[in-house]
C-alpha cells in the first residue's frame, strides 16, 4: 500500500502533495491532541510550581499506578513479580525490591510484555546493539501524554505549538527523486507546520532553503540538528543576517554534536534547547533556560548503577510497560547537592552518553506522503 501511495504521490503536482501532507498530518493530529493531551498539559502547568516534596509524591502515585497496570495486563510482569509483594512498593525508594529488566530479557519476552494489541497501538521501533529490532507499543494515552510533555517543554522556551508557525526538518523521504524544482518542503496546514527535507539539505541547496525560511518566517524550528547545522554553516560562512528570529531551536532525532550548538545559535540568533529523545523508553530529559539538562520527575524514574548506566521507569509506557529497565545508556551526574540556577526541583544530568548505533523511528503511519515530526 505504501508503494502505491508513493507512486501516486510522486506523480501529482506539489500543491496536491501539500494537501496530502496536510491530510496525513490531520490524521495524526487527531490521535495526538485529544482530551488527554489538553488535560495533562494543564496538569503540567500546575505542577511546575510545586515544591520537591509534592513532586515526589506525584511520582510515587504514578509509580504505583503503573505497577498495578503491569501486573493486571502484562503476562510477563505477572510472572516476573510473582514472588514480590507489590503493595510494599510505596515510593520510588522501594523500587530496589524489584528486579532489573535488562535489554536482552526485554527483547526475548517483548510479546508477553505488551498490554495492548498492535491494532490499537502506536508502534515505535528501536534497533539494538546487535542489529535486532525492538518494537514498542504505546497506547493513545501514552502518545498524548508524551506530546503534552514535549509541548510543555517548548512552551517554557517561548514556543507554543499549534499557535505559532513551525519549521520542521524531517528525515522522511517525501521529495520525489524526479522533481525538477528546488522546492524541498511541504506544508502541514492543520498545525501551522512547514516540513523541510533533511535528505536534500546540502550546501548546494542551502540558498533555496534559506530563501524559503525567510519568506515563511517560522516562530520556532525543530528537527534533525545535522540538517539545521548545514544551513547554519552556509549562513555564517556567507555572513547572512536573517529576516526573522526564531524564539528557539529544538533538535530531535539525533544527538547534538558539540560543534553544532555554537554554529546554529550564531546563525539563527536564538538559543538551541536540547532534549534527550534518543529512546522512547526513557523518561524525558530536557534543557532548562540556564542550559542544564533536567530529568522530569513527572515523566518517570531514572536510577543509575555504580557505573552510571541508566535504569529507567517510564510513566508513558502503558502499552509496553518499562519498569526498572536497563537500556544501555550512561549518564554523568553532577556533584551531590548541586542546584540549578533556574530553580527547578527536577534533577540535573551533566552529560548523557547514548548507546552506540542507537536509532529510532516511528513506523505506524509512516507513509512516504509525509513525515510529521513530534
Catalogue all structural domains in the chain, each as residue range(s) with its CATH number: 58-125+142-157+279-355 (3.40.50.12780)
Q: How far apart are CA 319 and CA 120, in angstroms?
A: 9
pLDDT band at residue 123 using 50, 70 and 90 as cut-offs: confident
**Taking every pair of C-alpha atoms in the chain, what is the biggest distance, in angstroms?**
66
Taking CA atoms, 365 is separated from 2, 136, 149, 238, 358, in Å, by: 9, 15, 22, 39, 22
Predicted pLDDT at 365 = 32
Q: What pLDDT score does 240 carry?
A: 97
User: Is residue 126 very low, low, confident or very high in pLDDT (cuts 50, 70, 90)?
Assistant: low
- Confidence at 267, pLDDT banded by 50, 70, 90: very high
pLDDT tens for each residue of 275-323:
985 556 788 899 999 999 998 999 999 998 888 888 999 999 999 999 9
The string of pLDDT tens digits covering residues 324-334 is: 998 878 888 77
- Whether the pLDDT of residue 93 is over 50: the answer is yes
> Cα angle vertex 265, ends 259, 267, to 5°?
100
End-to-end CA gap in the chain: 24
Amino acid at each position: 500500500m505504501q508503494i502505491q501511495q508513493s507512486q501516486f504521490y510522486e506523480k501529482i503536482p506539489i500543491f496536491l502533495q501539500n494537501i496530502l501532507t496536510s491530510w496525513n498530518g490531520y490524521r495524526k493530529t487527531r490521535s495526538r491532541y485529544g482530551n488527554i493531551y489538553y488535560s495533562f498539559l494543564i496538569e503540567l502547568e500546575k505542577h511546575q510550581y510545586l515544591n520537591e516534596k509534592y513532586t515526589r509524591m506525584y511520582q510515587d502515585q504514578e509509580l504505583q499506578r503503573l505497577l498495578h497496570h503491569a501486573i493486571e495486563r502484562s503476562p510477563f510482569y505477572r510472572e516476573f513479580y510473582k514472588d514480590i509483594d507489590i503493595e510494599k512498593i510505596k515510593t520510588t525508594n522501594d523500587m530496589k525490591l524489584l528486579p532489573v529488566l535488562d535489554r536482552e530479557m526485554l527483547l526475548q519476552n517483548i510479546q508477553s510484555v505488551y498490554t495492548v494489541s498492535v491494532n490499537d497501538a502506536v508502534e515505535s521501533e528501536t534497533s539494538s546493539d546487535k542489529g535486532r529490532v525492538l518494537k514498542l507499543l504505546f497506547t493513545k494515552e501514552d502518545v498524548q501524554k508524551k506530546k503534552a510533555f514535549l509541548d510543555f517543554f517548548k512552551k517554557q522556551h517561548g514556543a507554543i505549538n499549534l499557535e505559532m508557525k513551525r519549521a520542521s526538518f524531517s528525515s522522511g523521504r517525501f521529495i520525489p527523486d524526479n522533481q525538477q524544482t528546488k522546492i524541498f518542503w511541504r506544508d502541514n496546514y492543520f498545525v501551522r507546520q512547514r516540513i523541510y527535507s533533511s535528505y536534500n539539505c546540502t550546501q548546494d541547496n542551502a540558498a533555496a532553503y534559506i530563501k524559503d525560511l525567510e519568506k515563511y518566517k517560522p516562530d520556532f524550528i525543530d528537527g534533525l540538528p545535522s540538517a539545521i547545522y548545514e544551513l547554519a554553516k552556509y549562513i555564517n560562512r556567507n555572513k547572512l543576517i536573517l529576516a526573522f528570529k526564531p524564539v528557539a531551536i529544538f533538535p530531535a532525532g539525533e544527538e547534538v554534536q558539540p560543534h553544532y550548538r555554537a554554529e546554529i545559535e550564531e546563525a539563527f540568533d536564538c538559543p538551541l534547547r536540547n532534549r534527550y529523545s534518543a529512546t522512547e523508553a526513557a523518561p524525558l530529559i530536557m534543557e532548562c533556560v540556564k542550559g542544564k539538562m533536567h530529568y522530569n520527575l513527572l515523566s518517570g524514574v531514572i536510577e543509575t548503577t555504580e557505573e552510571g548506566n541508566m535504569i529507567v521507569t517510564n510513566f508513558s509506557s502503558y502499552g509496553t510497560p518499562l519498569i526498572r529497565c536497563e537500556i544501555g545508556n550512561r549518564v554523568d551526574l553532577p556533584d551531590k547537592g548541586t542546584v540549578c540556577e533556574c530553580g527547578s526541583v527536577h534533577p540535573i544530568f551533566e552529560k548523557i552518553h547514548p548507546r552506540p548505533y542507537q536509532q529510532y523511528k516511528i513506523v505506524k503511519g509512516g507513509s512516504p506522503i509525509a513525515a510529521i515530526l513530534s
